[in-house]
Copies of this chain bind each other. A is one copy, B any other.
């Protein structure tokens, strides 16, 4: 078209957006594959990974996942059926059910994390200095405070 003014058509930025889209697609694909290798769906793997950091009430799992609590019920049901997660009563509030990984669940979560090596291999093409620069740019993009470290 004509209109060369708009920063929306900045070629460099557009390419970066495109590339990030590619990264996202690959990451997702590998994540799904890794999950499936352990007999899990992506959603189940995400919940398992979250719970492997510590037990959480159902409600908070939903908040972290940014979905409805009724959805979490089903996912945890399926994880519980595989004995990777269990529901525990909350001592303080009898309405609350806390989801916690089992020993088996913890093992699966670790294995999952270790087989998620998307970034490791491609990163090998970058030097140490480049990795640091790359990290800093990612941090800035995400609004992380770069001062500390």
Mark A residues whose CB is within 8 Å of B: 7-8, 12-13, 15-17, 19-24, 26-29, 66, 114, 116-120, 122-123, 125-126, 128, 130-135, 137-144
Per the bound structure, the CA–CA distance linking A55 and B126 in Å amounts to 38
A140-B126 in contact (CB<8A):
yes
Known A20-B27, A27-B24, A128-B12; contact A122-B134, beta-carbon cutoff 8 A: no
The listed residue (B15, B123, B141) touching A135 by CB distance below 8 A is B15
Give the nearest-CB partner of A142 in chain B.
B22
B17-A131 in contact (CB<8A):
no
How many copies of this chain?
Answer: 2
Chain A residues touching B, majority SS: helix
Specify which chain B residues have a CB less than 8 angstroms from the CB of A7 in the assembled complex. Answer: 120
A119-B20 in contact (CB<8A):
yes
Give the nearest-CB partner of A17 in chain B.
B119
Per the bound structure, the CA–CA distance linking A128 and B13 in Å amounts to 10
The listed residue (B19, B119, B138) touching A13 by CB distance below 8 A is B119
Of the A-B pairs whose beta carbons lie under 8 Å apart in the complex, a sample of 14, sorted by A's number, is A12-B132, A13-B119, A13-B120, A16-B119, A16-B131, A17-B116, A17-B118, A17-B120, A19-B135, A19-B144, A20-B27, A23-B142, A28-B28, A133-B137
